[in-house]
Structure 1
């Protein structure tokens, strides 16, 4: 039997060790879907409920496996639906290949059904590489380049294959003029830093007395070296959200997250330091970094296009984090005076006491912070933890103490709503032997999560470890935006936009054969987590939370507080509840051991 272009496509993906493709069928990819059947579903086709979920699942897979994520969609609307997930990959620097169908070549340009100018559609999100296969001989080169580009630039790329081309007999490129053969092998180098740049960086760091280190996801392979540098310099270490799993939060000088969702120890460290070392992060919010004339600074990153941004760095070193820090370490002076680091450690210890105290402030019915504080010590050391966008991300950033080999992520730069559950599905296909935990707002659950529970119900029995816990913050409010309206715009709650219909999330999960628990009593949270983390199948925790517990940044400005107060005075429906919970929470911040 002759091999079609679609057959060869799957064969080439197998050669690239692609184990699964996250997709949704449609007649624009009928040729490829037929090839999956002839290939005995190798690579495995993972069917989502929506193409956007396919893209998010591919992103989750890539984030937690370190490998290429592949998603597949039909022409027209299917391709359009991929965009949000692909932008998530683009902004968080994740390697994704999107394969999409197109109408037959004979119909292109004829305003045909589902005909969309896919090059224009993808020219921004897949700007590193997007191409259309028009003849069989073109396929291996275009596919290989799309994969290599995605992996090397950590970016989404797109491959467009018209429906009629999928059905053509495959013939390889020859040795003739204007044929472009291709090959598979790919070996990655280490990016070794320049010696002079390393010496200049050491001079800056040695001159500092109050050194702050900021790490992002680019430092994940250099956790040991980051610790060695911090201990040599007597520094504290803050983490960008995408770098939350770089260092254990049990290390006493790790100050936690930075930014609007950050911790007070991080805020104070950046406010008071005289030297900044940034490793593997392009954290965008410069207002949370030291004042521009305050600190001398060094940045280390292996991507020269992202270096030197955000802050007036004195030395910008291009290199992979681990070898660069290894080259730097022998040149760094051991600090005799560790009082700066000791002060940071005392502030970090107080912060964790404060967070635990605030989590136990009474609320109606459950303080959402307690959902996280009860989970934190119970999370397995090999857990993969995911937060959706919204207030779930606030508490994820501030209250969860990562340790061991825990991994974690969220839609960091795009901050898209709704990737939590599809990320988890991708994570389970990346590491089916590891437990996965998702913290999901009820808005995100209604937007995407409920439908993807159906996908979980379909596939969970294939996973080595069946534990996938989805904790829903059930408060019937689009809570993060509600608080942003109050604090940033000074606007009272607009019920018509912010209120959500009440849904029985546990009941829906139970109807699919999943485990489900509804929690409305705070003291039952610990037992609920214990049951969920020992269950023999995926579990939904439907936790009824108080929407009036404020996600107050520990460094909230007077302007933000004033705006929130004005919003309440203008007739916010929850004014009294907000004031009551805000006061109680702030009392615990000032006096962690007090009762309220």
Structure 2
């Protein structure tokens, strides 16, 4: 057994049965060992190391286990970085195994020799080590896995070529300096002290209008979140990483918060007198209560991040589920439900606004209608991914998530690229679950199209359940275009924003996938039916209107001023954005008026 064989065996003992990567001579020993491993662990060959790292991150997000990525020395090691940063910033346990030149050549400026310790000192700051002798392999893999799980972060082990090719040492010599580690780790039960729990309960009990913001850290505590929300009569807003739980069919769930958020969430944040943060570090202060408006309680497992988004009075450092279970018996059910009634009215109004917006005329197809029609057809247990861009707005707002679903995106890094590899990773982890990715044409051109070749590479593995890549074709890097207008006061600059038209559906057919193209509102429902019933992976290309604005829940004065300046400078889409933007906001006022009329007059 070589060191490379031993490393794979040890990773397997840690539950790593799938490694995402790309070959190179700097990891030849690992590739030979993977061949000898006969599929456990299995190498999934992505088209690019960055995509492999995204796939490893998605594996961690969707399964809760360790994601693993592998790359060769030099360029391959560099390519992993963006995907690994996605894992680091979204707090996912990912272990990177990377190659290095032979020890004898280090320091000689040898070909492909870089310094991964320096390069990775931020992304893998919690643990990065080089395996200098075979006897180290055991404790380096063990510590990499333990640290990744404990800190929910990225770790890296560097394996020089000659070390990987050396004879393995399963048990190091019993001498001074040797370390004898073992496989094993358990999730700790972390709860705050009783006096802080009592303090939190007193604050929550004294509030009349409680608003909650839940994130990724609360996704395994949905029952507890629902129970405390019911006791408090609270409205529950969700971050993008906390997209699924609690489900959107609950009348007090206000949906997304922030720039991509809902008017219902904005109402709760603007009017609450008590704020409860659970498992989130949502950073945008302009979408939270004004300082001094609300008393605050926060639950966060990471004590470094607690109380840094809003001035909280009670800081509950602990696991969301464990802490809520301790806190709930101290909470008094609020008998006055008028605040909850207001919230439910706002939620109902918001869903009607979305319906109205989705059916606005567009040229040729309203992107909101595309997601609106998907929402009606979401299969049970679906896994949904998306990418950075305007598509993320529709993904956040229009999809009515139900219990049992999974969903994610690059939350804190907000990078282009993960939508397609996330979906592919989801298919490997859950062969029987429907998977749907909503992707903009810019990011699909950047790297998504190439990853469809990965599906071709593993064709027989991708026909067990619906797998749909919905590509929004508007020939515009649309989110940045809107940000230019609203944040910089500049008109759309075609030199940077226009992208070429590509026949995405035809490209899919070229690879043996199903390709569907839709540019008509009358046909989009049928197009979704066809895509979701396909027994082979499908690209649904939707030709959408770039002038449909991702209107925020409320438009701030500075954004309005900048947008007006962009128009005044001669934006090439002035008439369209003015007409369609005003119409989008008008729906909010119309539905608000309707909601105050007796039922028969609506």
With structure 2 as the length reference, what TM-score do the two structures score?
A: 0.97
How big is each residue's C-alpha offset from its partner over 1:523-571, in whole Å with a ceiling of 9 and x where there is no partner? 1111111111111011100000000001110211122122112212211
Q: Cα offset for 1:482?
A: 0.3
How big is each residue's C-alpha offset from its partner over 1:92-144, in whole Å with a ceiling of 9 and x where there is no partner? 00110010000110110001100001100000000000000010000010111
Indicate conservation of the 8 Å contact 1:460/1:466, yes or no. no
Q: Cα offset for 1:490?
A: 0.6
Indicate conservation of the 8 Å contact 1:357/1:588, yes or no. yes
2:5 paired residue number: 7
Q: Cα offset for 1:592?
A: 4.6
- Provide the rounded CA distance (Å) in 1 between the counterparts of 2:539 and 2:590: 35
How big is each residue's C-alpha offset from its partner over 1:153-210, in whole Å with a ceiling of 9 and x where there is no partner? 1101111000111100111312111111111122222113321111111000011000
3-state DSSP of counterpart to 2:522:
helix
3-state DSSP of counterpart to 2:334:
coil
1:328 paired residue number: 327
2:572 paired residue number: 573
1:30 paired residue number: 28
Q: Cα offset for 1:593?
A: 11
How big is each residue's C-alpha offset from its partner over 1:38-97, in whole Å with a ceiling of 9 and x where there is no partner? 221321100000000000011111110111000000001000000000111110001100
Residues 1:427 and 2:426 aligned together: yes
Written as runs of structure 1 = structure 2, the 5 A alignment for 1:42-57 is 42-57=40-55
- Provide the rounded CA distance (Å) in 2 between the counterparts of 1:559 and 1:319: 38
Q: Cα offset for 1:587?
A: 2.6
- Provide the rounded CA distance (Å) in 2 between the counterparts of 1:463 and 1:17: 23
Alpha-carbon spacing, 1:127–1:593, altered in 2? closer, same or farther (3 Å): closer
- Provide the rounded CA distance (Å) in 1 between the counterparts of 2:147 and 2:280: 21
- Structure 1: runs of 5+ lacking an equivalent: none
2:63 paired residue number: 65
Indicate conservation of the 8 Å contact 1:358/1:592, yes or no. no
Indicate conservation of the 8 Å contact 1:97/1:147, yes or no. yes
2:538 paired residue number: 539
1:233 paired residue number: 232
2:600 paired residue number: none
> Which deviates further from its counterpart, 135-144 or 584-593?
584-593
Q: Cα offset for 1:481?
A: 0.2
- Provide the rounded CA distance (Å) in 1 between the counterparts of 2:242 and 2:403: 15
3-state DSSP of counterpart to 1:417:
coil
1:155 paired residue number: 153
Indicate conservation of the 8 Å contact 1:279/1:301, yes or no. yes
Indicate conservation of the 8 Å contact 1:358/1:589, yes or no. no
- Provide the rounded CA distance (Å) in 1 between the counterparts of 2:178 and 2:432: 45
Written as runs of structure 1 = structure 2, the 5 A alignment for 1:470-509 is 470-509=469-508
3-state DSSP of counterpart to 1:447:
helix
Written as runs of structure 1 = structure 2, the 5 A alignment for 1:84-99 is 84-99=82-97
- Provide the rounded CA distance (Å) in 2 between the counterparts of 1:505 and 1:271: 43
3-state DSSP of counterpart to 1:304:
coil
- Provide the rounded CA distance (Å) in 2 between the counterparts of 1:159 and 1:153: 16
2:266 paired residue number: 267
Indicate conservation of the 8 Å contact 2:15/2:65, yes or no. no
3-state DSSP of counterpart to 2:332:
coil
- Provide the rounded CA distance (Å) in 2 between the counterparts of 1:308 and 1:566: 37
- Provide the rounded CA distance (Å) in 1 between the counterparts of 2:264 and 2:326: 29
- Provide the rounded CA distance (Å) in 2 between the counterparts of 1:209 and 1:383: 37
Q: Cα offset for 1:463?
A: 4.5
Written as runs of structure 1 = structure 2, the 5 A alignment for 1:77-476 is 77-171=75-169, 172-463=171-462, 465-476=464-475
- Structure 2: runs of 5+ lacking an equivalent: 594-602
- Provide the rounded CA distance (Å) in 2 between the counterparts of 1:463 and 1:363: 34
With structure 1 as the length reference, what TM-score do the two structures score?
A: 0.98
3-state DSSP of counterpart to 1:390:
coil
Indicate conservation of the 8 Å contact 2:462/2:537, yes or no. no
How big is each residue's C-alpha offset from its partner over 1:452-477, in whole Å with a ceiling of 9 and x where there is no partner? 01112222422573311111110000
1:551 paired residue number: 550
Indicate conservation of the 8 Å contact 1:197/1:315, yes or no. yes
1:584 paired residue number: 583
Give the length in aligned residue pairs. 592
- Provide the rounded CA distance (Å) in 2 between the counterparts of 1:79 and 1:475: 34
- Provide the rounded CA distance (Å) in 2 between the counterparts of 1:413 and 1:220: 17
Indicate conservation of the 8 Å contact 2:551/2:584, yes or no. no
- Provide the rounded CA distance (Å) in 2 between the counterparts of 1:319 and 1:465: 40
What RMSD, in angstroms, separates the aligned Cα atoms of the two structures? 1.2
- Provide the rounded CA distance (Å) in 2 between the counterparts of 1:432 and 1:67: 17
Alpha-carbon spacing, 1:460–1:547, altered in 2? closer, same or farther (3 Å): same
3-state DSSP of counterpart to 2:304:
helix
Runs of 4+ in 1 over 6 A off after TM superposition: none
- Provide the rounded CA distance (Å) in 2 between the counterparts of 1:14 and 1:394: 39
- Provide the rounded CA distance (Å) in 2 between the counterparts of 1:61 and 1:542: 26
Indicate conservation of the 8 Å contact 2:463/2:535, yes or no. no
- Provide the rounded CA distance (Å) in 1 between the counterparts of 2:38 and 2:405: 35
Alpha-carbon spacing, 1:272–1:593, altered in 2? closer, same or farther (3 Å): closer
- Provide the rounded CA distance (Å) in 1 between the counterparts of 2:225 and 2:525: 34
